[in-house]
Structure 1
Amino acid sequence: MRADRVELPSGVVVEDYFVRESRGFCVVFALTPDQHVLLVRQYKHGIGEIVTELPAGMIDEGETPQACAARELLEETGYAGAPPELVRTFLADPTNATAQFHLYLVRDAVHTAEQRFDVTEEIDVELATVDEVRAMALDGRIAAGSQVAAALVALAHLGR
């Protein structure tokens, strides 16, 4: 977090304009060989609820976004697949944060290992059809803005 002194075009000066600095995060749209999408369900303390989303996580220091996508998919789901393909990079919250998030597509994801999530995580893995994921993104069952955007952009990228 940093505090900037900002002078607006109108001449108004804002002292202590707080900006969150971050390396950003990755969201992974992973498809199995039979065209199911990997989803995770986990508790999010900020809202005190269990949410459904695509696998995702913060980029570690010195890590590339592509490596982050592969790591998060494996850690959260135990699945791995073809090398992650960058679909698009988004601005996470340009008003007061530097973070970007990177959407990756992983094809041919198969279960290869046990989950290895952080001590603060308890994650259930679900498989859904492409049509189910679209419906979930549109009806609110996938609710985080970044997740909805990622799901719908990935589906458009796939022509689905």
Structure 2
Amino acid sequence: MDDGWKVLETRTILQDRWLNLRADDCLTPDGVTISPYYVMSYPDWVNIVAITPDDRLLLVRQYRHAAGRFFLEIPGGGLDERDV
């Protein structure tokens, strides 16, 4: 038995090379309609855990615009089709 939500309708709100945002109208198994239910999807990416010979973790300082500040993170980036 499938207990998942049934998608009644889906609309693309925004689609570009960095993300896809869509709005789904859904029906739960209990008969409740949830509209809209927003879904974001992104291209594939990779993160790297790099450890130096002296057992230190490599981090990069990355600006995150939504937070308006810099963070220390593990290195990562988007995959191109030729990378897969």
Q: Which has the higher strand share?
A: 2
TM-based fold match above 0.5: yes
Paired residue for 1:18, among 15, 33, 38?
38
- Where in structure 2 are there 5+ consecutive unaligned residues? 1-20
TM-score, structure 2 normalization? 0.61
Equivalences, count: 64
Cα gap change, 1:44 to 1:15, in 2 (>3 Å): same
Query: What is the CA-CA distance between 1:34 and the residue it aligns to?
Result: 2.6
Cα gap change, 1:20 to 1:42, in 2 (>3 Å): same
Instruction: Give 1:36's aligned amino acid.
Output: R
Paired residue for 1:6, among 18, 26, 36?
26
Distance 1:4 1:49 in 2: 32
Distance 2:82 2:35 in 1: 32
Q: Which has the higher helix share?
A: 1
Match of 1:55 in 2: 75
Query: What is the CA-CA distance between 1:25 and the residue it aligns to?
Result: 2.4
Give the 3-state SS of the residue equivalent to 1:29 in structure 2. Answer: coil
Match of 2:65 in 1: 45
Query: What is the CA-CA distance between 1:22 and the residue it aligns to?
Result: 1.7
After superposition, the CA RMSD in angstroms is 1.8
Identity over aligned pairs, percent? 39
User: What's the CA shift string for 1:65-123, capped at 9, x where partnerless?
Assistant: xxxxxxxxxxxxxxxxxxxxxxxxxxxxxxxxxxxxxxxxxxxxxxxxxxxxxxxxxxx
Instruction: Give 2:75's aligned amino acid.
Output: P
Give the number of the structure whose alpha-carbon radius of gyration is greater. 2
Query: What is the CA-CA distance between 1:61 and the residue it aligns to?
Result: 3.6
- Larger RCO (CA within 8 A; separation ≥ 6): 1
Distance 1:13 1:42 in 2: 40
TM-score, structure 1 normalization? 0.35
- Where in structure 1 are there 5+ consecutive unaligned residues? 65-160
